[in-house]
A and B are shown apart, each in its own frame.
Chain A
Amino acid sequence: MAKRFTKSAINWVEFEKQVPPEQKTKFLAFKAKADIYLRRVQANPPEPPKINWEEYQKIVPVKGLVDKMKTAYSGFQVPYPTDTLSAKVDEQWKSLEPKIKEYCAEIQKDIEVAQKELNRIKALPKFEDMTMETFYDVYPNEALDPVKRPTFWPHDPEEQLGYVPPQHKAVKK
């Protein structure tokens, strides 16, 4: 006989946290079923209650009935039902586990890419520590570049050639 079920070994609270939000309803249905089974289990005691043979010996006058019952009862083994479905669950797990590993590996790749970018950003020098020249080295497109992209003082968009104020642009369009 396989190990008998005495108590739920699953931490339902932790499990609930791990369920992704879009599958919450399915999880709740599953949990409801599990609760029904649990209630069914708990409807009966784990061991059969004892029969008081002595008392019956005294009262029942039919000779031998009590003895016969006693021997038959103690000799009788209630069969534990056979487990056919656990194997199917194991199969499901076998097919599921590699998929999980694959998914995790893909996600890990994404994590690594993001981590690399994060490290790159963290390694940039603080703006306070940079001079105008080093700023040009780190951000060549945003720094003032008098050689390749000369701009008129005060180096803001309004003073440059070909500037069109936003309202005019809207009117033109």
Chain B
Amino acid sequence: MIFSPILKLGYLKQYLKQPFVLTCTKICPPISTTKPVCPGSSGKPPSSTPSLGLKRAVKPGKVRMGFIPDEWFLFFYSKTGVTGPYVFGLVLTNYLFSKEIYVMEHEYYVGLSIFTMLYYASTRLGPGLGRSLDKSIDEHVETLEKARRDEACVYENAIKDAKDAQWRAEGQKLLMDAKKENIAMQLEAIYRERFMQVFHAVKGRLDYQVKLQRSMNRIHQKWMINWILQNVKKSITPDFEKAVLNKAIQDIAAISSKT
């Protein structure tokens, strides 16, 4: 076939191991996104889950001009530089057309028109279609992931409740402390009541003595005053009374004559 010279070259055969499709979705680019990766590659033991090997590629292999794999250009690069493959392509197509190895018959012209239409369709409508398809796929994946997340959530809740139960069980220590504190409170209350009792007893007795003393004094004073007044009243004789009254009249006359 036309590409047998490339095949015969031998090296870089690895790139052509895949089935030969023009839209190269399966050829790994040199810097590969499809490295074999262990599931949960951050060091978790892979014993329980089967090893995945390749991860799904995010983008198809790199191509130039829509269908020619990039590796073919790189294959040429070392010998002929950047323009090599393009020149080779031009020369090849020129050879094919001029020697009528590739005959330009009716199908060719139909193909040209179809190619134009396909080109415009894919560049204009392609991205939109891609986005909507991606969206529907994302929804589907989201439902699957949600189911998995819910399962994980169940376990997380179980763990949380279990930890909660542990914490509460340990809270019983506080209960013991509270009981001891209650006992201490009762003892303290009784102690305070006791010394207040003593205090009130002593103070009561002293106060009683004070009050007793005071009331005795009051009674003595009252009787003394009464006795004094009685004696004074007795000692007022009629002469004395007349003399005092005259003196008083004189004093009043003196004062009234002054004013």
A33 nearest CB neighbor, chain B only: B182
Known: A10-B177, A89-B176, A115-B159. A120 touches B48 (CB 8 A): yes
Answer whether residue B162 sits at the interface, using C-beta atoms and an 8 A cutoff: yes
Answer whether residue B165 sits at the interface, using C-beta atoms and an 8 A cutoff: yes
Answer whether residue A170 sits at the interface, using C-beta atoms and an 8 A cutoff: no
The smallest beta-carbon distance between A79 and chain B, in angstroms, is 7
The smallest beta-carbon distance between A144 and chain B, in angstroms, is 15
Task: Mark contacts of B45-60 with chain A using CB atoms, 8 A cut-off: 1 yes-contact digit, 0 otherwise.
Answer: 0101110111110000
Question: Are A118 and B159 interface neighbours, CB within 8 A?
Answer: yes
> Which of B151, B186, B189, B210 has its CB near the most chain A CB atoms (within 10 A)?
B189
Which residue from B175, B177, B185, B191 sits with its C-beta under 8 Å from A80?
Answer: B191
Answer whether residue A152 sits at the interface, using C-beta atoms and an 8 A cutoff: no
The answer for the CA separation of A2 and B183 in the assembled complex, in Å, is: 12
Answer whether residue B139 sits at the interface, using C-beta atoms and an 8 A cutoff: no
Known: A20-B168, A123-B44, A127-B141. A56 touches B206 (CB 8 A): yes
B138 nearest CB neighbor, chain A only: A128
- The count of residues in chain A whose C-beta lies closer than 8 Å to any C-beta of chain B is 75
Contacts of B193 in A (CB 8 A): 44
Question: Are A8 and B181 interface neighbours, CB within 8 A?
Answer: yes
Interface, chain A (partner B; CB < 8 A): 2-5, 8-10, 14-15, 18-20, 30, 33-34, 37-38, 40-41, 43-46, 48-49, 51, 56, 59-62, 65-66, 69, 72-73, 76, 78-81, 83, 85-86, 89, 92-93, 96, 100, 103-104, 107-108, 110-111, 114-115, 117-131, 134, 137-138
In the A-B complex, the 7 residue pairs with the smallest Cβ-Cβ separation, listed nearest first, are A18-B171, A44-B192, A37-B185, A5-B188, A123-B40, A137-B50, A78-B195
The smallest beta-carbon distance between B36 and chain A, in angstroms, is 12
Task: Mark contacts of B161-205 with chain A using CB atoms, 8 A cut-off: 1 yes-contact digit, 0 otherwise.
Answer: 011011111111111111111111111111111111011001101
Contacts of B11 in A (CB 8 A): none
Which residue from B141, B156, B162 sits with its C-beta under 8 Å from A107?
Answer: B162
The answer for the CA separation of A114 and B170 in the assembled complex, in Å, is: 21
Which residue from B186, B190, B196, B209 sits with its C-beta under 8 Å from A48?
Answer: B196
139-162 of chain B: CB within 8 A of chain A: 141, 144-145, 148, 151-152, 155-156, 158-159, 162
Question: Are B213 and A61 interface neighbours, CB within 8 A?
Answer: yes
